[in-house]
Structure 1
Amino acid sequence: MTDVNQLITEHLDIWTSATEKKSSAGRGNGGAVSLYGIKKLRELILELAVRGKLVEAKELSSEESSAYVSQLLDKKNDLYKQGKIRKPKKYSDVSHAEIGFAVPTNWSSVRLGKIATKITDGSHNPPKNVGSGIPMLSSQNVNFGRIDFDNPTRFVTRSDYLAENERTAIEVGDVLLTIVASLGRSAVVPNNFPEFALQRSVAVVQTGLEPEFLCLLFQSPLCMDYFWRNAKGTAQKGIYLGKLAEMPIIVPPLAEQHRIVAKVKELMGLCDALETQTEDSLKAHQTLVETCLATLTNSQTPEDLSQNWARIENHFDTLFTTQESVKQLKNTVFKLAVSGHLVEQIEYENRSNQKNLRPDAQAEKYDLSAFEEQAKKFQLPKGWVIQPLSRVTSHIVDCPHTTPKWTDSGELCVKSNQIYARHLDLSEPNFVSSQTYLERIERLEPKEDDILYKREGGILGVGARIPKGTRVCLGQRLMLIRAGEAVLAEFLELVINSPWITNFAEEKTTGGAAPRVNMTLVRAYPIPVPPMDEQKRILRRVRDLVQRCSLIDGHMQSARSIERDLADALTLRIH
């Protein structure tokens, strides 16, 4: 018998340190992590529960599941004779291969439909939503162990409810199970439940099993694997009731079911506490990182910055231990670079580049009021100037407003989803014909170091330079920005992707469902222009620090991968 309490405490470091990055979309969500180790521990507890390895079995003579199953079948036959249920269907025996593990000798394995006295689902043709009245719940309202009665997808009249309830006849102790889209979530109908109806995404299951044990079964790998193997559909997968009835389940003696449920609750409580402790620790670490990095951005003099940076460097291994903290460090570096705090200003440095601007008469039209409003917020370092993007560039060109005709090979054409901050992803290239290429470069042919800028779509306000030796044209929702003689292309790319500009772009985004930044506003972006030699020093320092961040990130990802492998190995070892 596995002592799970001991398993948790002896390997606490593995359960709490194994994390993975959540999949997400949109700016600002990239730092979210899921607690992989604790998730695996929860799965392990459920699997041990349904394998009979979580609690000690009593003497076999005192607890036998076969007699219990016979009682369930007798009860079902009695209900049939009383006309309360349909004639029981015959089901085939469950093979060992279907279960996949050794079932304890005093347990039984049966088809769910064999012992179920009710397997039905909600309405396939829901009544009209009347806005108030009796709630009609969908799969969104059924979570693991909890039913949300307060936020239904619709309300129905009492007459519609009575018509629906005549078929489902929901009772205390019935188990609600999601059978469309999010498969396998279940909860027990509680005492004193309010009247409610169901949509077809939720099934109602009634057996003689301990209802909470049946919920554990549905959540276990045994049943979850069955749901997904037998689900049908494309956009939304679902499992038919007939197939649900054929699902193999294991049946311990009733008293052992009660003990298993109690033990699972105890252990899940420990997991909850562990999860809370770990999340609190991550939040505290995040606050520490933010506080320390704020000392850099709030430094008043180069000497302050140097001292504050030295303090952080002395604690690198403690501070930068998560991907989000490394990301914050990079953003701080970019912010310091653009604000003039990353390298020292040199008095009497050559500033002739600041005169190499396009006259307003030659520059593309820009929103002067927006430029002046934002520019006055920037604290100019000594020897710097600030100018609208339209004046520090030689060209700003919008893409053709037509969809390219794609081909399997030919000339590279960049889509907006290939643009990331300071990175053009050409790993999955898109092609157009030579003729289409020529049509799409009529305004200006892109060249090395031009910046492709995304001003429309879900993640906008980012730009990336065209790499050396790369020939491309623009797809849709992109702009081409070519640096003039006042700024280096790499420095301009840094500024455009810095919080100074991205926050401004986000603030000025319009379009609602189709977000975008207007062309005249992009041209008005206030661009700080240091002396040329200072730009070069800034870029050298940024490259050095970004490389260091990448090394930390790489080591960290390797460590996280090892921790996840350890969590997997630990759960496999005790099966």
Structure 2
Amino acid sequence: MSTRELITEHLDLWTLAVTKKASSGRGSNGKVELTGAQKLRELILELAIRGNLVSQNPDHEPAVIHLQNAANEQVRLVKSGVLKKAKKPKPIAGTDGLFKLPSGWAFCRLADIGHISNGNSISQIDKEAKYAKLEGGVPYIATKDVGYGFTSLHYDNGVRTPRDENFKIASPGSILICSEGGSAGKKCGITNQDISFGNKLYALQPFAETCSQFILSFYLTQTFRRQFEERMTGIIGGISLSKFESIIIPVPPLEEQRLIVQKVDELMALCDRLEQQTSDQLEAHEVLVDTLLGTLTQSDNTTELEDNWARLAAYFDTLFTTEQSIDKLKQAILQLAVMGRLVEHYHENETSPDATETNTPTRFHSNTQNKKKNRGSALPIDITEKPFAVPESWRWERVNNLIESNRDISYGIIKLGKEPQAGGVHTLRCSDVKPRYIDSSTVRRVSEEIESSYQRTRLEGGEVLLNIRGTLGGVALVPYELRGFNIAREVAMLPFGSSVFGPYMVNLIASPFFWKMIESNLKGIAYKGLNLSTLRSLAIPIPPIDEQKSIVQKTDELLGLCDQLKERLSQANETRYQMAEAVVEVSLN
């Protein structure tokens, strides 16, 4: 099958295979990776270094002659004193070949086709004192100035070094690659001018006009990556110069190298267009979903909501085709729930009772805790704090008025201390409190001595927990089996009284309405958080208790359907990804 057929016959895989980027926190679901296009790029590069992109021409001078020319040039450079005599690379045995080569090609080691060296280390103090804004000289390229392949190096970084024997110089056409750390074997690029470079970079300066772009294309393949990783050592991960030099590379005739580079450029431009097209479609789809879901949450009455829902439902299969769009639908459901649009309203004589009269404790507490809190008089709720109208049987209340009379909203243990080897009290951190559930699989323990000073946040079960610092977005109801646990300072405990239904409060806090208030009240620069005084003062809509339970039942039902649909879409995306991988594997074998 030709390269063109591989692309066109599997176009749906290259354009539709996407995966969600891994990230944490609220609002992290909107980013996706175009993994289909990524797999297509991998396939193109692998085909390139195997001789499958362009036809072989028997009139081209074979690679063995080109490699002999490279060896002769290396000898001349050593004799002239430009290079030091290097240890001769280990010959490639017949079993070392990576795959069957086309006619006219040959395997060699990287050290056979170019001079490889690492650069110079410059301390931050010297950079600022000696080399920042130096007139003349050459740009100094560090790892941070190198991209991931076909992107240009960042030359205008404000650091230049003189042309002297203290600094190694890489000439135009040298191929740089990171040799150590998290970017090892990944960050790479080609120079277009003389540079000096950092000690965590290797520069390969080709012999005998070996095509730099072909070597760079090889660096970007899985074939190279596997060899690189096999040779890495150390805790932080790095590859020695000698081991890097020993990596095996397939070499085509010089003329074919240039044709391959030209074809790779052409096909990568096609990948760029496919990615842009897919990205534009996803963006347009996202705007459409936002707009139509907005008509639901902005409906003024039940009749208008039903009309808008009917309009949206007619295109349901077209609109909700991505995990991100389903997440937006879930947010719309939560928003409609807190606005009183999901269930039929109760009669006016079943109004929500006054919080100050009904917020009696719903759990057993010790005598030391059983003192009624003096909360003072809450400020009246201004009309500006009510962003939407609620049914007549509902009321607006400040969060603090809904808390149990003998407890308070509190954050937990400030310093957890060293985890005890035995015993201790399980303590929930912000990483344990997820959106609408608690993950107790990695809960750490705190010594009884430290925890005893924080009895106010010792959990009874039934409280609502909210992340107020760290990984924001987590809010969950405490199950009764976690009775006796405590919480860390990044987590706030909200012990609601009997006038509210815990699961309703979780859904309300998880809604866009509540999170808009939180985000507008976050304090801090690098480490933002929500003050408890602000949290206590937030105004929220409260329906009658029985209606709260009906709303939760309906909300959970709809969110459950969304989760089922999302799971099916996730499985479909995974299938596309696996099929794309299979096409690549079959094509190479």
Which of 103, 117, 120 does residue 117 from structure 2 map onto? 120
Which of 159, 183, 187 does residue 155 from structure 1 map onto? 159
Alignment-derived partner of residue 145 in structure 1:
150
Which of 80, 83, 89 does residue 82 from structure 1 map onto? 80
Alignment-derived partner of residue 476 in structure 1:
488
8 Å Cα contact 2:335/2:512 also seen in 1: yes
Where 2:495 maps in the other structure, the secondary structure is strand
Alignment-derived partner of residue 233 in structure 2:
232
**Given residue 183 of structure 1, which amino acid in structure 2 is its aligned partner?**
A
Alignment-derived partner of residue 429 in structure 2:
415
8 Å Cα contact 1:302/1:344 also seen in 2: no
Q: How far 1:378 sits from its partner (Å)?
A: 4.6
- When residues 28 and 352 of structure 1 are mapped into structure 2, their CA distance, relative to the original with a 3 A threshold, is closer
**1: distance between equivalents of 2:541 and 2:394?**
7
- When residues 320 and 151 of structure 1 are mapped into structure 2, their CA distance, relative to the original with a 3 A threshold, is farther
Q: Does 1:221 align with 2:222?
A: yes
Identical-pair percentage: 30
Alignment-derived partner of residue 14 in structure 2:
15
Where 1:427 maps in the other structure, the secondary structure is coil
Where 1:574 maps in the other structure, the secondary structure is helix
Which of 183, 187, 190 does residue 188 from structure 1 map onto? 190
8 Å Cα contact 1:389/1:523 also seen in 2: yes
**Given residue 44 of structure 1, which amino acid in structure 2 is its aligned partner?**
L
Where 2:396 maps in the other structure, the secondary structure is strand
- When residues 475 and 230 of structure 1 are mapped into structure 2, their CA distance, relative to the original with a 3 A threshold, is farther
Where 1:29 maps in the other structure, the secondary structure is coil
**2: distance between equivalents of 1:364 and 1:206?**
77
Alignment-derived partner of residue 363 in structure 2:
none
Matches within 5 A, 1:544-559: 544-559=557-572
8 Å Cα contact 1:137/1:198 also seen in 2: yes
Alignment-derived partner of residue 366 in structure 2:
none
Which of 499, 524, 532 does residue 486 from structure 1 map onto? 499
Where 2:440 maps in the other structure, the secondary structure is coil
Name which of structure 1's ranges 202-211 and 257-266 shifts more when overlaid on structure 2: 202-211
Where 1:558 maps in the other structure, the secondary structure is helix
Residues 325-377 of structure 1 deviation map (CA, whole Å, 9 limit, x = unaligned): 01100111111111222223344241253353559x95565896797586244
**1: distance between equivalents of 2:374 and 2:105?**
79
Where 1:406 maps in the other structure, the secondary structure is coil
**Given residue 417 of structure 1, which amino acid in structure 2 is its aligned partner?**
S
- When residues 110 and 368 of structure 1 are mapped into structure 2, their CA distance, relative to the original with a 3 A threshold, is farther
Matches within 5 A, 1:198-347: 198-208=197-207, 209-235=210-236, 237-347=237-347
8 Å Cα contact 1:422/1:497 also seen in 2: yes
- When residues 269 and 350 of structure 1 are mapped into structure 2, their CA distance, relative to the original with a 3 A threshold, is same
- When residues 296 and 366 of structure 1 are mapped into structure 2, their CA distance, relative to the original with a 3 A threshold, is farther
**Given residue 119 of structure 2, which amino acid in structure 1 is its aligned partner?**
G
8 Å Cα contact 1:65/1:108 also seen in 2: yes
Where 2:99 maps in the other structure, the secondary structure is coil
**1: distance between equivalents of 2:253 and 2:376?**
77
8 Å Cα contact 1:363/1:391 also seen in 2: no
CA RMSD of aligned residues (A): 2.6
Q: Does 1:428 align with 2:442?
A: yes
Where 2:128 maps in the other structure, the secondary structure is coil
Alignment-derived partner of residue 522 in structure 1:
535
Alignment-derived partner of residue 393 in structure 1:
403
Q: How far 1:440 sits from its partner (Å)?
A: 6.2
The gaps in structure 2 that reach 5 residues or longer are 361-370
8 Å Cα contact 2:170/2:205 also seen in 1: no
Where 1:416 maps in the other structure, the secondary structure is coil
**1: distance between equivalents of 2:99 and 2:449?**
60
Q: How far 1:408 sits from its partner (Å)?
A: 5.7
Q: TM-score, normalised by structure 1?
A: 0.90
Residues 405-461 of structure 1 deviation map (CA, whole Å, 9 limit, x = unaligned): 53466553322210012111113343456x45972662254223211222122x235
- When residues 372 and 234 of structure 1 are mapped into structure 2, their CA distance, relative to the original with a 3 A threshold, is farther
- When residues 57 and 464 of structure 1 are mapped into structure 2, their CA distance, relative to the original with a 3 A threshold, is same
**1: distance between equivalents of 2:349 and 2:326?**
33
* Number of matched pairs: 560
**Given residue 259 of structure 1, which amino acid in structure 2 is its aligned partner?**
L
Which of 137, 140, 157 does residue 136 from structure 1 map onto? 140
Alignment-derived partner of residue 95 in structure 1:
93
Where 1:129 maps in the other structure, the secondary structure is helix
Residues 498-552 of structure 1 deviation map (CA, whole Å, 9 limit, x = unaligned): 2222221222111323322112111112121112222122112101110110110
8 Å Cα contact 2:140/2:155 also seen in 1: no
**Given residue 486 of structure 2, which amino acid in structure 1 is its aligned partner?**
L
Q: How far 1:106 sits from its partner (Å)?
A: 1.9
- When residues 537 and 258 of structure 1 are mapped into structure 2, their CA distance, relative to the original with a 3 A threshold, is same
Q: How far 1:98 sits from its partner (Å)?
A: 4.0
- When residues 472 and 4 of structure 1 are mapped into structure 2, their CA distance, relative to the original with a 3 A threshold, is farther
**2: distance between equivalents of 1:151 and 1:373?**
54
Q: TM-score, normalised by structure 2?
A: 0.88
Residues 176-221 of structure 1 deviation map (CA, whole Å, 9 limit, x = unaligned): 222233133332222xx4x643222322211131111111111112
8 Å Cα contact 2:463/2:478 also seen in 1: yes
Alignment-derived partner of residue 532 in structure 1:
545
Q: How far 1:249 sits from its partner (Å)?
A: 1.3
**2: distance between equivalents of 1:88 and 1:401?**
59
**2: distance between equivalents of 1:362 and 1:528?**
24
Residues 133-191 of structure 1 deviation map (CA, whole Å, 9 limit, x = unaligned): 36422122222123333552x524xxx42236x6433322222222233133332222x
**2: distance between equivalents of 1:401 and 1:198?**
45
**Given residue 428 of structure 2, which amino acid in structure 1 is its aligned partner?**
V
Where 1:215 maps in the other structure, the secondary structure is helix
Where 1:317 maps in the other structure, the secondary structure is helix
**Given residue 494 of structure 1, which amino acid in structure 2 is its aligned partner?**
N
Alignment-derived partner of residue 502 in structure 1:
515
Alignment-derived partner of residue 31 in structure 2:
32
Residues 80-101 of structure 1 deviation map (CA, whole Å, 9 limit, x = unaligned): 2222211242111123554432
**1: distance between equivalents of 2:230 and 2:266?**
31
8 Å Cα contact 1:461/1:505 also seen in 2: no
Q: Does 1:382 align with 2:387?
A: no
**2: distance between equivalents of 1:105 and 1:409?**
67
8 Å Cα contact 2:16/2:36 also seen in 1: yes
- When residues 497 and 352 of structure 1 are mapped into structure 2, their CA distance, relative to the original with a 3 A threshold, is closer
Q: How far 1:78 sits from its partner (Å)?
A: 1.5
Where 2:52 maps in the other structure, the secondary structure is coil
